[in-house]
Amino acid sequence: MFKDLRYIKISISLILLFFVVSEVISSHKETQLVFKPNSFASNEAIKFKVASNQNIKNYPLQIKNKLNNLVVYDTTITIKKTYDFFDTLDFFVHGFPTQNNEYILHPKHLSSGIYEANRQFPLVIRGKGTETITVVIPTISNYFYTPIKEHSFFEQERPQLSLNRAINTDEWTKGLIPVFKKLEQKYSVNYLTDLDLEQKELFEQTSVVFLYGRLTFWSPLMLQNIMDYMEKGGKVLIASSNVFYAKFCMNYRDNIAEIRGCENTIGNHLQSWKTVLTDTSNIYRKLHSDYGGKTISPYGYTILQPKHPLLNNTNLAKTIDFWAEYTVGTPLKQEVGDSILPLYPNTSIIAYTPCKKTDKQSRVGGIILHRNSQGGAVLSLGSSDWCLPDNQNKPHIQQITLNAFDFLLSD
């Protein structure tokens, strides 16, 4: 009798375990639409892959333009299961399996812009490359920073990062959508991903390039092309806290960002651009080495130039109210009373916030203008946080952002 009771208890336990495991798997059902990390041409067929841990018939697929909310494609597809929930594959290194789940869409001619599939998965459509402003979506850093199953790429040193997986639209892009809408009412605007910077013909004819969000990861070709653009008199607007920090090399054949073997990199350790950008007269060297770091007070900038065109239509004279934890800044030559003088020539501080000192050097972050002798300029708004929805929802922050484009285009 007791033996039978024991078997009953074991059976009940197994049944309960089955339901628990089934519930765990059910709660982790996942389907990813994997688009290429570069932009699509306006008349190009949209090819993509799907990774999923379930079989789905009639999976709804809708693609919408985030700038005007117009639906440009609406259909259903059949999806085959490509991996199991309990797979132990390192998805960072190898990506998600997508075998037998490849699709091609043929939408009508699409305007350059930021699009989303199923309100989640971003894809970018580029223009002709002759537009007045080029907006660069921070895609590659988004791949590096996006976790998988609550794990980070940076938890261990890895030789590469596979881009064969989905990412979501980043928070900085979401915050800037109202700005992009207003820019399009006044100027022609082209949209690229940061990996498109490896093709200089896609942006070399534009008047202003806008870089924003996390700008940590740069390939040698991306960096060289943006530097060449500046050397030819190009203007760059930057809203970021971490610029030109880590190096990778793009392997398009296997769709991976390589760490090991990228320009003589040994092992799996991320290499900093600091060892390469040695010319202190170079604007990009300045932006990299003069990372202002953590702000002493994160609640805004003190205005040094109240009549500067960046402050037009804001009614601001003393402070710019917004929140920023980290900034890109510049070292100071003098900080006595109200005198705050930058160390570098051809550098102008428009508004600032004190940052913690590094290497015993006083630094400030903020809105800073760097120029070169070829007529090129970089206007830094100081922080990635500038782009976040909570900041961009403040009318004066959005106005300064728009003023920055007007200033660079009229400069």
Return d(Cα 198, Cα 252) in angstroms, integer. Answer: 12
Whether the CA torsion 356, 171, 46, 60 is positive or negative: it is: positive
| Backbone dihedral angles phi then psi of residue 75, each to the nearest 5 degrees | -155, -175
Residue 338: inside a domain, yes or no? yes
pLDDT of residue 24: 42
pLDDT of residue 20: 43
Residue 316: inside a domain, yes or no? yes
Q: What is the pTM of this model?
A: 0.89
Residue of 304, 353, 307 lying closest to 327 (CA atoms): 353
pLDDT of residue 242: 77
The tokens of 276 are what? Answer: 């390469």
Looking at residue 169, its amino acid is T
Residue 411: inside a domain, yes or no? yes
Return d(Cα 355, Cα 301) in angstroms, integer. Answer: 11
Query: pLDDT tens for residues 349-368?
Result: 999 888 765 555 677 888 99
Buried b (16+ CB within 10 A) or exposed e, 311-320: beebebeeeb
Residue 344: inside a domain, yes or no? yes
pLDDT of residue 361: 61
pLDDT of residue 392: 95
pLDDT of residue 373: 79
C-beta separation of 38 from 250 below 8 A: no
Mean pLDDT by groups of 10 residues along the chain of 411 residues = 56 52 54 95 94 94 94 94 82 91 90 95 95 97 91 91 94 97 97 97 97 92 91 93 84 93 78 60 52 67 94 95 82 65 83 72 82 87 93 96 97 80
Residue 351: inside a domain, yes or no? yes
**Counts for the chain of helices (H) and strands (E), in that order:** 8, 26
The domain containing residue 327 runs over which residues? 290-373+397-411
The total domain count for the chain is 1
pLDDT of residue 305: 94
Residue 391: inside a domain, yes or no? no
Give strand ranges (E) for 171-327.
189-193, 208-212, 215-218, 235-239, 243-247, 249-251, 256-258, 293-294, 301-303, 319-320, 326-327
Residue of 84, 112, 109, 114 lying closest to 97 (CA atoms): 84
Residue 364: inside a domain, yes or no? yes
pLDDT of residue 338: 58
Residue 363: inside a domain, yes or no? yes
pLDDT of residue 365: 82
Instruction: Please list the alpha-helical segments (H only) found in 187-219.
Output: none
- Going from the C-alpha of 7 to that of each of 12, 276, 331, 384, 404, the distances in angstroms are 9, 69, 75, 61, 75
The tokens of 13 are what? Answer: 């336990």
Helix (H) or strand (E) holding 72: strand 71-79
